[in-house]
Chain A
């Protein structure tokens, strides 16, 4: 039993090492950096809307305007624009990381991995999407 466990653990470690070696999610290229910087600059503007529940972390690696009513009317168009710009950047980021890894066809996998990561990193109180429905973390 113990030996079995050891083999399983080794397999898991090997698999993990293989995966980690296969896709470098932290790949550092000027293109990736430009997109990350743009997203970081926008995050300060988006954070209050994650907290209010107006914007949620969608399950497809995007963000979504889930309750525009939580945003004061004069800011609603701007938040709408922030969400659109954030999603443009996220699409570009996944494509850019796939390109930087030399495998543009990995974009879908990278998107899924990031979707999980964004949801894990969501702060308590933020809204995340799973199975089509929204829940508060």
Chain B
């Protein structure tokens, strides 16, 4: 019985070798039975070594465990095998479970060892056995190249890999980290001194697709990554790294991770003249889960220099050149944005922001130059003007700040000189005449809703429209909700009915829409009232308008006109117009000038000669039905129903 040193190269916990010599003159070979070998990342059980006399060796291993993975009944053949009291070596080795790999290893008992493998189109899948079970596993493709490792009794102290990947695929059990048809090269060289690994790696990814949730990168463009750093078991450092990304640019970076606490100790990222379109689409957008930028496209170029340490950004230098932002749903857009600033957490700075124009909910705005003050996560613009259609929006005391994960902002605003003609056109309304003006002391966003204090004043149809208590909840959600009150005074019916092709009416009306709630820009609730304004003015209503009003509430009056002498008159006099609608749950509960009696109520109360009174008979009508009737009427294809 021969007893060998009980320390294995990779800190074997037990290394007992005993063999039973079963040689005979006829067999001319030696068979050894070797006891189990166990090391932290490696174990082999049931090892049998047979040594034919041609200098080769055959090692049979019942159970080989590497990194927690198991290979059963493996057979290692060494074309040349040497075993002496000093050590052993194997060259021209091959493992039957790993085709395409030529192995070589040498071991001086209790001392240095080295291992190398030449891969010639080795199926990647076969190598899966050496990968930790919780990492994505190779599924397809082949590897070509060389692996070298060496060490001594203290452990591994060098590792080199130089591999070419051909159509390599990998995936984990969840399918959230996977790749297909990867082609390229991967190199890693690492040496260990005094417990610290120094390493250098290069990846040249030429083609293939990678999905690493939530990123999906297709290899249609070449990407190169080269990094050098160190690893001491507790910290992984990238001392210098560079990613060369086609269609984006070059990004230099460095970082250090504390592996035990899963924490980024420090990092720097630097890139000049980076093209933002693909950078944002490929690397930033997939991380947005909802929010304003989740469906945006960016264009233009940026210089970035970011320094991070102690859990916070130490500085961010950013220069944007001709940057554009466009929302896929066309809610907003910004063009020609240029700025440069050097932000630091505790220093007051300013940035000049210049942009060429854009759009917000269909309303275009023009070029402007703003000076932004920065103090930590507080940003402010004291005074700014934004050309809006043919007028302007003046912003006062704009403030933006970060609270928790939310951005909050507020400003005071004054609108002036905007023609309703342009405004109605840009939001897709019928063309209206008048002007839009107003002063809002404060518009604020609290992370959930945009609220306006004060009132917006429109001069419309020769009257006034005041919008107050406006609040827009969930502005970028699936169903934004707008709340507010609209109070209109002395609108000119002549202008109004002409705008909406309703049939001519003369006079003035007041309209109140209180407690308004729009969901997804559709009315969900309101208390509306239309009434003739106070004062003295001509009041006339055309036969067509009478028929249209009648068609909205019922065909009674229209029928009356058709049957009576009134059909000989083009216009009628009236005393008052009144209509009420309380919208709840999709149903409009209606009323007229007064509450009327029984089921009927007067919408137009007659007066003068010839006079006409238009009665409504329906007290409740579906809002959708009312809107479609109104559309039919205003589209001018309405036919009076005669019964």
Q: Which residues of A contact B (CB under 8 A)?
A: 27-35, 38, 65, 67-71, 73-74, 76-77, 80-81, 84, 88-89, 92, 96
Contact = CB atoms under 8 A, between A and B. Distances in A.
Contact of B209 (A29, A32, A67, A74): A74
Contacts of B218: 74
Contact of B479 (A34, A68, A73, A80): A34
Given A35-B479, A69-B174, A73-B211, A28 B216 contact: no
A96 B473 CA distance: 12
B289 interface: yes
Nearest to B173: A69
Given A68-B175, A88-B290, A31 B216 contact: no
B162 interface: no
Given A68-B175, A68-B176, A69-B178, 8 more contacts: A29-B586, A31-B520, A68-B178, A69-B175, A89-B478, A92-B479, A96-B479, A96-B519
B178 A73 contact: yes
Contact of B520 (A28, A34, A65, A77): A34
A33 B173 CA distance: 38
Given A74-B209, A74-B218, A30 B178 contact: no
21 contacts: A27-B585, A28-B585, A30-B519, A30-B521, A30-B524, A31-B519, A31-B524, A34-B520, A38-B478, A67-B174, A68-B176, A69-B171, A69-B174, A73-B179, A73-B180, A73-B211, A76-B211, A76-B216, A77-B215, A80-B213, A92-B478
Interface string B581-601: 000011000000000000000
> Which of A35, A73, A74, A76 has the most C-beta atoms of chain B within 10 angstroms of its own C-beta?
A73
Nearest to A76: B211
Contacts of B481: 31
B523 interface: yes
B406 to A, nearest CB: 17
Contacts of A65: 176
Contact of B523 (A30, A76, A77, A96): A30
Contacts of B176: 65, 68, 76
Q: Mostly helix, strand, loop or mixed at chain A's interface?
A: helix
Contacts of A76: 175-176, 178, 211, 216
B214 interface: yes
Nearest to A35: B478
Contacts, number: 81
B522 interface: yes
Given A30-B520, A31-B519, A67-B175, A77 B211 contact: yes
Of listed B175, B176, B290, residue having the most chain A CB within 10 A: B175
Contact of B477 (A30, A32, A71, A92): A92
Nearest to B289: A84
Contacts of A84: 289-290
Contact of A77 (B171, B216, B522, B585): B216
Nearest to A27: B585
Instruction: Sort A-B residue pairs by CB-CB distance and give the 3 closest, nearest first.
Output: A68-B175, A69-B175, A31-B519
A67 B174 CA distance: 6
A35 to B, nearest CB: 5
Nearest to B169: A73
Interface string B512-526: 000000111111100
Contacts of B522: 30, 33-34
B286 interface: yes
A9 B455 CA distance: 58
Nearest to B520: A34
Interface string B221-262: 000000000000000000000000000000000000000000
A35 B175 CA distance: 29
A29 to B, nearest CB: 5
A80 B477 contact: no
A71 B286 contact: no
Interface in B476-525: 477-479, 481, 518-524
Nearest to A78: B216
Contacts of B518: 30
Contacts of A96: 479, 519
Given A29-B586, A34-B479, A34-B519, A70 B175 contact: yes
A65 B481 CA distance: 30
Nearest to A54: B175
B240 to A, nearest CB: 31
B175 A71 contact: yes
A73 B209 contact: yes
A103 to B, nearest CB: 15
Contact of A29 (B173, B216, B519): B519
Given A34-B520, A69-B174, A28 B586 contact: yes
A102 to B, nearest CB: 11
Contacts of A71: 175
Interface string B270-298: 00000000000000001001100000000
A102 B518 CA distance: 16
Contacts of B521: 30
Contacts of B171: 69
A33 B522 CA distance: 10
B276 to A, nearest CB: 20
B291 to A, nearest CB: 10
A28 B524 CA distance: 9
A104 B522 CA distance: 21
Given A30-B522, A69-B171, A89-B478, A77 B214 contact: yes
A32 B479 CA distance: 8
A127 to B, nearest CB: 14
Contacts of A92: 474, 477-479
Contacts of A30: 479, 518-524
Nearest to A72: B180
A80 B211 CA distance: 11
